[in-house]
A = this chain, B = another copy of it.
Amino acid sequence: MADKKRKQKRRRSDLSSDDEAVLPFKDILIPDSDLLETLKQLLGAHNAVSTSTSSSKPLTLSDLNLSATCREVTDLSLSSVQSAIETLILQVAHSIVAGNGFSFQVPSRASTNQLYVPELDRIVLKDKSTQRPFSHVSSVRKSTITVKILSLIHQLCLKNIHVTKRDLFYTDVKLFQDQTQSDAVLDDVACMLGCTRSSLNVIASEKGVVVGRLTFSDNGDMIDCTKMGMGGKAIPPNIDRVGDMQSDALFILLVEKDAAYIRLAEDRFYNRFPCIIVTAKGQPDVATRLFLRKMKMELKLPVLALVDSDPYGLKILSVYGCGSKNMSYDSANLTTPDIKWLGIRPSDLDKYKIPEQCRLPMTEQDIKTGKDLLEEDFVKKNPGWVEELNLMVKTKQKAEIQALSTFGFQYLSEVYLPLKLQQKDWL
């Protein structure tokens, strides 16, 4: 114990020798044992809330009597996808034989057909759909593309392999013309079949990494994320082959940017404070969103987010939390509820005395994005977030996570994060 304290003291004094700048909070020494206690309380409180609010399972559209007017998709097995496609094509054949021609009924994914459901804290699709008849000059191409995509997905089901959207496009460049067309119909098909895009075995390029107190299986191989060095484990592009998640972590730390991730991975932050560290290196991709949700759901851990103090940081947080408008039909499977905003928050800039020259002036576009966010339901429902965002728009200042480097490279892992955690300073 005495040894531990000495070690901490050494760390702290290293830091102060770093820089002539006055280090905010440098004199506060938090024993690791106290901090661990705080984190255990966080986990306990998190579990108490999740068991009390939803005694057995999370709320669904049908619990809210919204299943008739709203639409969500679910994960389907490959064989279910296969039967769904066969049933659909049989219906089409019957319709043709009966002399009614053929037409697809396609759920609308337009923004006018989207709805934020506060009880679920997610964006979902409403029930509007449109006809896509083959025998109409305006939709003959789109219905042909739909048939082609259905047939390709059917092949993937038979072979049980995964392909990228780009692969799909290249199977018939003459028909699709450009990739946006095959991509859009792919989302249509997922909606029509009522399944997630990952159920279709079409995957996006992976870019996320994970490191820390987690073991899981990737395509049959057991992965121990405490033994992944500094590089970490690349998050698999196909969530359906991920399983057997085990962890002794007390929380998940979701990091926006690569640089902060590298700092925490090298310092093995997860050994001092048992946690799992995950990043998508910027914009959240589908694979990382699915992986984060799976961790949160299976391991029942609180998620704390470390993002830049700018409108895009908050927007990224909201994509993880509530979904993107683009994929709102799939929000139930892609979103991770109840993510806490740990930092960097606009109020941190003064609290942690971030020097003026490390803060950046917000552009007109930044300010507009910030004001737009204030109108969003998922921000409005959290008074703390509204307050922070108002402060950002008022001061017209933003800052990156890296701005903390001004106090020494390890200020993030050695002072800022421990202090934040100790003070339970999340929203």
Contacts and interface: CB of A to CB of B under 8 A. Distances in A.
A267 B219 CA distance: 11
A217 interface: yes
Contacts of A99: none
A93 interface: no
Contact of A217 (B170, B222, B229, B355): B229
Q: Which of A173, A242, A267 has the most CB of B within 10 A?
A: A173
A18 B231 contact: no
A228 B237 contact: no
A276 to B, nearest CB: 15
A236 B229 CA distance: 8
Contacts of A238: 230, 266
Interface in A345-403: 355, 357-358, 400, 402-403
Q: How many copies of this chain does the complex contain?
A: 2
A424 interface: no
A192 interface: no
Contacts of A409: 155-156, 159, 161, 163, 167, 171
Given A234-B209, A281-B205, A259 B164 contact: yes
Interface in A158-211: 159, 161-164, 166-174, 203, 205-207, 209
A405 B163 contact: yes
Interface of A: 14, 18-19, 155-156, 159, 161-164, 166-174, 203, 205-207, 209, 217-223, 227-238, 241-242, 258-259, 262-263, 266-267, 281, 355, 357-358, 400, 402-406, 409-410
Given A14-B159, A19-B171, 4 more contacts: A167-B409, A222-B227, A229-B241, A231-B234
B357 A173 contact: yes
Contact of A231 (B171, B233, B259, B262): B233
Given A159-B14, A230-B218, A236-B231, A173 B406 contact: yes
A237 B219 contact: no
A231 B235 contact: yes
Given A161-B266, A167-B405, A206-B258, A230 B236 contact: yes
Nearest to A407: B171
A205 B174 contact: no
A51 B55 CA distance: 69
27 contacts: A159-B409, A161-B410, A162-B230, A162-B262, A163-B405, A164-B402, A167-B263, A170-B402, A173-B406, A174-B355, A205-B259, A205-B281, A206-B231, A207-B207, A207-B281, A217-B229, A218-B231, A221-B227, A222-B227, A223-B227, A223-B228, A229-B236, A229-B242, A230-B241, A231-B233, A231-B237, A233-B234
A18 B159 CA distance: 10
A186 to B, nearest CB: 14
Nearest to A267: B161
